[in-house]
Homo-oligomer: A and B are copies of this chain.
Amino acid sequence: MSTRFFEQADEAVAGIEDGSTVLVGGFGMAGMPVELIDALIRQGAKDLTVVSNNAGNGDTGLAALLAKGRVRKVICSFPRQADSWVFDDLYRSGRIELEVVPQGNLAERMRAAGAGIGAFFCPTGAGTLLAEGKETREIDGRTYVLEYPIKGDVALIGAHRSDRMGNLVYRRTARNFGPVMATAATTVIAQVREIVETGSLDPEAVVTPSIYVDRVVQEAQRA
Contacts and interface: CB of A to CB of B under 8 A. Distances in A.
Interface of A: 108, 112, 115-123, 137, 139-140, 142, 144, 148, 169-172, 202-205, 207
Contacts of A172: 203-204
A26 B116 CA distance: 24
Nearest to A145: B118
A115 B108 contact: yes
A108 B114 CA distance: 13
7 contacts: A108-B115, A108-B117, A118-B142, A119-B137, A172-B203, A172-B204, A204-B207
A37 to B, nearest CB: 25
Contacts of A169: 204
A139 B119 contact: yes
A207 B123 CA distance: 25
B115 A139 contact: no
